[in-house]
């Protein structure tokens, strides 16, 4: 699905991180700037391990790095460039949020309005859901209700969404939902009297100088679009090679994901937001307000279409990523420090989704040693030795072995001291209890080695049959757990 990577926690990424349009031609890494040279060396090594895409790094109005890596079309041996057009996944959500705010500025709606002011057939259990709740993933809708590539029109999607049970009472919790943003896109159409992409294009993108972003309206040449490649290396194609309906993807994807863009366009868009070129100061302030926590252990809040973090330097990091299992993009805007990192990839290899974060750390810390990109190795099973025993212990505790009362001693015995210190014990406990609930009894159906001290366990839950990929980072000297992330297969 086109969604921010479904992670219960980003701890081994975030513990370290919490921690005007670019020109048309590449600015080659400056050999006089050792930080930029280190970043380029790091990304080149990642390319050797499977990364391919386009990367832009700016400080203020100055370009530090603007370069393509790897191939946008392997069969034709065409390289990625700074101008290559990539799918940006759920980064789309900030554009939908901007459409809603623009309509609010013109007096056509208000984010406090209930959605049944604008959508037909809203049942009683959903009648009070506000646009604000849709914008902040607090409406109670599930993450998805169908396949991204289904050619479903807006009417059918609305009926399906209205018939889908809510997961919680609106306004009482946070749960990331593509459904809510698709409904916002339909509201944009209803209120503006225009198609979603047309309104976005005419009202926001063109005035911002963002001319290479959209579903179909930009006049791209076929050669500009990056070909997506699955993790096994097979060709997936571009977004435009998959089913379209009424000028774009079906509504399981439209307005919540699937837009195509370039690193240059994202720089221009953020420049327009920063200078209030297309949205008022009040609207941008609302967009970047930390409205709701993204969950215990996440260390972040959600605004309107953006995730918001505090850095160790006491500054704001405004960010969002997006991916569809094939293509991936990440935008990190250190708003108070004037640094922007934009990374877009057409090969969503495992272990590559923290590349932009590593680049950001390198910009601010000349001594930071980034985690080396590694080509995952499929293992026949859990390996022998201390690391293997730690992985077995983790599998057992996630299955529910032992009582909740014994969980805190287990955490103290199995988590590294740095990991324990990064997050309060009550949050560790809450996260592990939730993982036990979500995964429970399971089979280990696959094991990968993603680095010298990093493993991926594929756990198939007996409860729902779903497979979770549990990424575990272990300390090399004592095999204690120093990082943990969980995502759906």
Task: Tell me the pLDDT tens digit for each residue of 232-246.
Answer: 789 999 988 888 888
Cβ atoms < 10 Å from Cβ of 123 = 9
* Residue 362 pLDDT: 94
pLDDT above 60 (res 379): yes
Domain boundary (374, 408, 436) is at: 374
| Percent of the chain at pLDDT exceeding 90 | 70
Are 26 and 64 in contact, with CB atoms under 8 Å apart? no
Spatial neighbors of 275 by CB under 8 A, at least 6 apart, are: none
272 and 400, same domain (yes or no): no
Res. 351 pLDDT band, cuts 50 70 90: low
Are 420 and 441 in contact, with CB atoms under 8 Å apart? no
315 and 395, same domain (yes or no): no
* Residue 373 pLDDT: 64
302 and 331, same domain (yes or no): yes
Task: Tell me the pLDDT tens digit for each residue of 435-483.
Answer: 998 899 999 999 988 777 889 999 999 988 889 989 898 988 899 998 8
Average pLDDT of span 212-220:
93
Put residue 50 in one of left, alpha, beta given phi > 0 → left and psi -120 to 50 → alpha: left
337 and 445, same domain (yes or no): no
309 and 225, same domain (yes or no): yes
C-alpha closest to that of 326 among 347, 297, 353, 356: 347
432 and 356, same domain (yes or no): no
The mean pLDDT of the chain is: 89
Which of 314-318, 398-402, 464-468 has maximum average pLDDT? 314-318
Give the residue numbers spanning the domain of 218: 1-374
Q: Which two tokens stand for residue 468?
A: 């979770």
Domain boundary (327, 354, 374) is at: 374
Of 61-75, 210-224, 232-246, 367-381, the poorest mean pLDDT is in 367-381
56, 226, 468, 431 alpha-carbon torsion, rounded to 10°: 20
* Residue 410 pLDDT: 94
Spatial neighbors of 396 by CB under 8 A, at least 6 apart, are: none
82 and 203, same domain (yes or no): yes
Domain boundary (316, 350, 374) is at: 374
Res. 21 pLDDT band, cuts 50 70 90: very low
292, 298, 299, 302 alpha-carbon torsion, rounded to 10°: -30
pLDDT above 70 (res 8): no
427 and 353, same domain (yes or no): no
459 and 470, same domain (yes or no): yes
CA distance 52 to 469: 23
> Which pTM value belongs to this model?
0.77
- List the beta bridge partners of residue 451: 454
Res. 16 pLDDT band, cuts 50 70 90: very low
Residue 18 φ then ψ, to 5°:
-80, 20
pLDDT above 50 (res 277): yes
CA distance 456 to 434: 19
- Edge-first strand order for the sheet with 301-302 is 62-69, 53-59, 339-345, 328-334, 316-323, 307-310, 301-302, 292-293
C-alpha closest to that of 140 among 152, 126, 127, 150: 126
266 and 290, same domain (yes or no): yes
Average pLDDT of span 250-278:
97
CA distance 203 to 205: 6
Of 25-34, 171-180, 189-198, the poorest mean pLDDT is in 25-34
Are 142 and 182 in contact, with CB atoms under 8 Å apart? no
Q: In CATH, what number is assigned to the domain containing residue 476?
A: 3.10.450
Average pLDDT of span 94-118:
98
Split into its structural domains, the chain has a count of 2
Q: In CATH, what number is assigned to the domain containing residue 107?
A: 3.40.710.10
369 and 385, same domain (yes or no): no
Res. 209 pLDDT band, cuts 50 70 90: very high
* Residue 32 pLDDT: 64
Res. 374 pLDDT band, cuts 50 70 90: low
369 and 383, same domain (yes or no): no
pLDDT above 50 (res 41): yes
């Amino acid at each position: 699905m086109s969604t921010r990577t479904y992670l219960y926690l980003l701890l081994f990424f975030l513990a370290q991180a919490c921690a005007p349009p670019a020109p048309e031609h590449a600015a080659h890494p400056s050999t006089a700037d050792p930080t930029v040279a280190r970043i380029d060396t790091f990304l080149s090594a990642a390319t050797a391990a499977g990364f391919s895409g386009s990367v832009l790094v700016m400080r203020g109005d100055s370009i530090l790095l603007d370069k393509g890596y790897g191939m946008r079309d392997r069969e034709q041996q065409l390289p990625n460039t700074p101008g290559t057009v990539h799918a940006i996944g759920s980064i789309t959500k900030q554009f939908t949020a901007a459409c809603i705010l623009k309509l609010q500025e013109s007096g056509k709606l208000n984010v406090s309005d209930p959605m049944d002011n604008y959508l037909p057939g809203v049942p009683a259990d959903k009648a009070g859901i506000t646009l604000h709740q849709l914008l902040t993933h607090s409406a109670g809708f599930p993450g998805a209700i169908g396949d991204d590539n289904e050619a479903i029109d807006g009417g059918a999607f609305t009926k399906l969404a209205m018939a889908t049970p809510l997961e919680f009472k609106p306004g009482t919790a946070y749960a990331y939902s593509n459904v809510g943003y698709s409904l916002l896109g339909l509201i944009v159409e209803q209120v503006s009297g225009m198609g979603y992409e047309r309104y976005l294009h005419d009202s926001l993108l063109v005035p911002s100088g963002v001319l290479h972003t959209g579903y179909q309206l930009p006049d791209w040449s076929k050669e500009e679009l990056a070909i997506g490649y699955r993790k096994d290396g097979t060709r997936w194609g571009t977004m435009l090679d998959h089913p379209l309906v009424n000028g774009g993807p079906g509504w399981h994807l439209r307005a919540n994901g699937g837009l195509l863009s370039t690193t240059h366009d994202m720089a221009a868009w953020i420049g327009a937001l920063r200078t209030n070129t297309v949205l008022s100061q009040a609207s941008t302030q609302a967009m970047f307000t930390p409205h709701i926590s993204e969950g215990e252990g996440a260390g972040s809040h959600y605004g309107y279409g953006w995730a918001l973090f505090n850095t160790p330097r006491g500054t704001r990091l405004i960010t969002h990523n997006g991916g569809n299992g094939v293509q991936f993009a990440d935008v990190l805007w250190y708003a108070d420090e004037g640094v922007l990192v934009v990374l877009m990839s057409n090969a969503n290899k495992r272990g590559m989704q923290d590349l932009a974060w590593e680049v950001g750390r390198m910009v601010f810390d000349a001594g930071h040693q980034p985690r080396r990109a590694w080509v995952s190795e499929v293992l026949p099973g859990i390996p022998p030795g201390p690391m293997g025993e730690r992985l077995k212990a983790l599998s057992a505790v996630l299955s529910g072995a032992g009582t909740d009362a014994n969980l805190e001693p287990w955490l103290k015995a199995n988590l590294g001291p740095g990991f324990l210190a990064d997050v309060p014990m009550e949050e560790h406990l809450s996260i592990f209890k939730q993982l036990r609930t979500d995964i429970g009894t399971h089979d280990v159906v696959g094991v990968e080695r993603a680095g010298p001290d990093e493993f991926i366990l594929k756990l198939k839950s007996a409860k729902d049959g779903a497979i979770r990929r549990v990424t575990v980072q272990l300390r090399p000297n004592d095999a204690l757990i120093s990082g943990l992330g969980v995502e759906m297969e």
